[in-house]
Structure 1
Amino acid sequence: MASGGKSTAVSHVGKIRANNQDSGYAGAHLFVVADGMGGHAGGDVASAMTIKRITETDKPYSSAQDAQFALKSALLAANSLLADTVYEHQELTGMGTTVSAMLRVGSDIAIAHIGDSRIYLLRDGQLTQITADHTFVQRLVDSGRITPEEAAVHPRRSVLMRVLGDVDASPEIDTTVHDIRPGDRWLLCSDGLSGYVTDDKMLAVLTSLPDADEAAHRLVKESLDQGAPDNVTVVLVDIDESSDSGCNPPRTVGSAAAPLSFEPEPARRPMRLPTLLLHPLRATPPADEHFEPESEEYLDELILEDRRRARNRRIAWLVTIGLAAIAIIVALVLAYQWTQTRFFVGVDGTRVAIFQGVQADVGPIALSSVYEATDIRLGNLPNYTQKTVQETINADSLSDARDIIERLANVSE
């Protein structure tokens, strides 16, 4: 944790991972979150090295455009640094990191972004996502193929289309400039928060807790309460009337705050039973994020796979409905057959008769019918017996029903 009054940074390893591959930084002008990928291949190394390189931009600039250029240049330089490191340490092949960074210059903020960490703006009670996720599922959402709700549980949600690392010598980096106003609250976070805490919940926390440090810790707690299988990093920046919103002295959290190490990642901690019971929907660890080239061929392949998956899901749904319908029909047939093993004595018109079935109807379907008519007239029976027959007399079997008829014949006039 780091705190400087108007800005704060918090990072937590989560409840499953053995080490923290996230890194965060809150400085005088610069604020960054990086989420490393590559697991044992060095996600923590990637985010830590990237943060250390980008922090060189934490200084005043004459314009937001200059800051924007400086951020983009720093991210590209970090990308080259990661590639050189992999060349010298082959065991780190495949490592990479997302980055969401912003530099404050007076009344403006310059942003540089790549990957699926996020920057949000809380302004006038509304929380807006400023950055766009560079993921496969976001492509599907943008093209209208799936909904945001489907994206949250999509099996390919961990596929990143853009990252820093040894995978692309010139990655495309999103850069923008935004104005800032007193009262703004800027949130930078890894997907350990955004993937497990809803926007509505984040909004509730950010609007109810004016203290930046308290709000950041509450956001992390909300993620932990959801099981937090991933690392969670939050950097929060409050804007007031002054031109200073930085953290002084600058603070670093996550893997960038620890000595740089190329040691392999230890095995994940086993999931504890209470976590399984309290968070069954988050019980299994999420698949490690990984990069796939942003090529049309690969996108077409994934889209075709997604269509096959949707088609298989529809087929499975139809088969399930069909089997359920068959089960219901079989149950109804068996139930009807059982009713036809039952008998009772009642009135058919003016005469007493033996009925097969039960005294009930299912809609227009009667579950009983006359099995055997008799010559006994209802009016020839004593008044009490007439009432009993009208209300029907259950029999244990057909022979029992005939015995009842014989007794009624003996008392008829």
Structure 2
Amino acid sequence: MVFEGSSAAISHTGKVRSNNQDSGYSGANLFVVADGMGGHAGGDVASTLAVTRIEPLDQAYTSTDDAQASLQAAATTAAADLVRASKERPELAGLGTTLSAIIMVDDYAVIGHIGDSRIYLYRDDALTQITTDHTFVQRLVDSGRITLEEARYHPRRSVLMRVLSDMDIAPDLDMFVMPTQPGDRWLLCSDGLSGVVDDPPIAKAMALGLAPGRTADILLKQALDGGAPDNVTLVIVDVGGAHPLSSGTGTVVGAASNPADLPVPAPRASLTGWLHPARQAANEPSHFEPDSDYFEEIIEEDRRRARRRRMAWLFALFLAVVALVGAGFLAYNWTQTRYFVGADEDSVVIYRGVQQSLGPISLSTEVHDTNILLADLPSYQRAAVERTINARSLSDATAITERLRASALPAIPEPEFTPDADPTPTPTPTATTEAPTP
């Protein structure tokens, strides 16, 4: 049975790279994206060989098992082609490619995937990433060592752990089958799109319901607006959509669309590399497949980077604490050059500092108790002292207290009072002259 739906494929060199190492295919039942790597020409060759080997699978299948077997066999043959190409042309040593493919069989999607290109499904207003990136940072995410946001900007985010390459004639593809239904919209893309455009804008473009070709143009523009540092390739497939399927052969885009134009560089001395002894140096690829022992070295490098990051944070924290303490010390020293006149419980006092406290720490200390009683001051002066009077210096504060002393009322001693004494005054005896008796 032939798949009923509509699709579109598009590929762009991007704004940085000089050539397109991606390839893509959109046919009647088969949809493929391959992102090549391996130098100026190696990436072109790798993605072209992969798509060329996969393209004959665009046919009707009686079962999903047959489609899976055919896809795995084609990927293995493509890997053998890469090995042969690197032997025949040593300057291409180290070439490889990602591969993400869908074969539609009745109401099912047969999926094969290796590398960091992606397959998304837009269904019921939700975008879901179907494939898992075979990258170093994805392993770090899976192990809980970093977050998805940290993975997006990790310096090793382009290191691939699994890929179709000239180093493995038995590629380990993720193979699985998913049921699909009318209204589903599938997106296959290279990391030139997924590495630049976040999922929400992709979902928004997919939700517009425009034809696959128009939707592909919108997504490509988003990648270009984001800088497009890598090649951008995407294929959009609508299941049972209203958009008619174009007749004729499938659409090939990217490097595979012009295989005769692939550059064939003259043999040249290759730099000896840690990962590939004869790897092409020109136009360094965006990602590569490491040797088996490279993962442990990358893990150790990540640990060293984490330690350096922690040390940097600790040093920054130390500097911040020193700056804070220094600023506090300078501020405290400044407060100790200030004076004010205030009051304690009953008298006028000269203080050094300011009229604030930091929690339990007072920023003022008593310098001199003038022994001027608050009760002896006129009411308006007593109120001013209780509110505190700022002074420019100690001599200024002393002058203020002298003025207060001059205006203080003189002390009036209280009369003595004895509670047991008779309050009735005793009359003073007077001298009398007794008259003589007649």
Q: Which bracket does the TM-score occupy, shorter chain normalised?
A: 0.7 to 0.9
The equivalent residue for 1:281 is none
Deviation of 1:55 (Å): 1.5
Deviation of 1:367 (Å): 1.1
Query: What is the aligned counterpart of 1:386 among 382, 385, 388?
Result: 382
The equivalent residue for 1:40 is 40
The equivalent residue for 2:178 is 178
Q: Distance in 2 between matches of 1:333 and 1:351?
A: 31
For the 8 Å contact 1:26–1:246, the answer to whether it is kept is no
Residues 120-170 of structure 1 show CA distances to partners (whole Å, capped at 9, x for unaligned) of 122233332222211112222223333323322222211101112222222
The equivalent residue for 1:277 is none
The equivalent residue for 1:272 is none
For the 8 Å contact 2:377–2:407, the answer to whether it is kept is yes
The equivalent residue for 2:61 is 61
Letter in 1 for 2:255: S
Residues 326-364 of structure 1 show CA distances to partners (whole Å, capped at 9, x for unaligned) of 322222122111111111112222221211111112222
For the 8 Å contact 2:37–2:285, the answer to whether it is kept is no
Q: Distance in 1 between matches of 2:344 and 2:92?
A: 89
Structure 1: tracts of 5 or more residues without a match: 265-285
The equivalent residue for 2:92 is 92
Letter in 2 for 1:369: T
Q: Distance in 2 between matches of 1:36 and 1:119?
A: 17
Deviation of 1:99 (Å): 0.8
The equivalent residue for 1:354 is 350
For the 8 Å contact 1:136–1:156, the answer to whether it is kept is yes
Q: Distance in 2 between matches of 1:331 and 1:99?
A: 59
Counterparts of 1:15-164 in structure 2 under 5 Å? 15-40=15-40, 42-164=42-164
The equivalent residue for 1:369 is 365
TM-score, scaled to structure 2: 0.81
Query: What is the aligned counterpart of 2:335 among 331, 339, 344?
Result: 339
Q: Distance in 2 between matches of 1:248 and 1:405?
A: 106
Structure 2: tracts of 5 or more residues without a match: 266-283, 410-438
The equivalent residue for 2:415 is none
Cα gap change, 1:109 to 1:248, in 2 (>3 Å): farther
The equivalent residue for 1:317 is 313
Q: Distance in 1 between matches of 2:396 and 2:285?
A: 68
Q: Distance in 2 between matches of 1:373 and 1:37?
A: 86
Number of residue pairs matched?
Answer: 386
Deviation of 1:69 (Å): 1.9
The equivalent residue for 2:301 is 305
The equivalent residue for 1:291 is 289
Cα gap change, 1:104 to 1:226, in 2 (>3 Å): same
For the 8 Å contact 1:39–1:288, the answer to whether it is kept is no
The equivalent residue for 1:166 is 166
Q: Distance in 1 between matches of 2:388 and 2:144?
A: 64
Letter in 1 for 2:58: D
Cα gap change, 1:196 to 1:214, in 2 (>3 Å): same
Deviation of 1:394 (Å): 1.4
The equivalent residue for 2:262 is 261
Deviation of 1:49 (Å): 3.0
TM-score, scaled to structure 1: 0.85
Match of 1:360, SS state, is strand
Residues 347-400 of structure 1 show CA distances to partners (whole Å, capped at 9, x for unaligned) of 222221211111112222211121122122223333333332222221222222
The equivalent residue for 1:271 is none
Q: Distance in 2 between matches of 1:145 and 1:328?
A: 33
State the percentage of identical aligned residues. Answer: 53
Cα gap change, 1:247 to 1:410, in 2 (>3 Å): farther
Q: Distance in 2 between matches of 1:148 and 1:9?
A: 28
Cα gap change, 1:206 to 1:21, in 2 (>3 Å): same
For the 8 Å contact 2:98–2:115, the answer to whether it is kept is yes
Q: Distance in 1 between matches of 2:94 and 2:20?
A: 17
The equivalent residue for 2:404 is 408
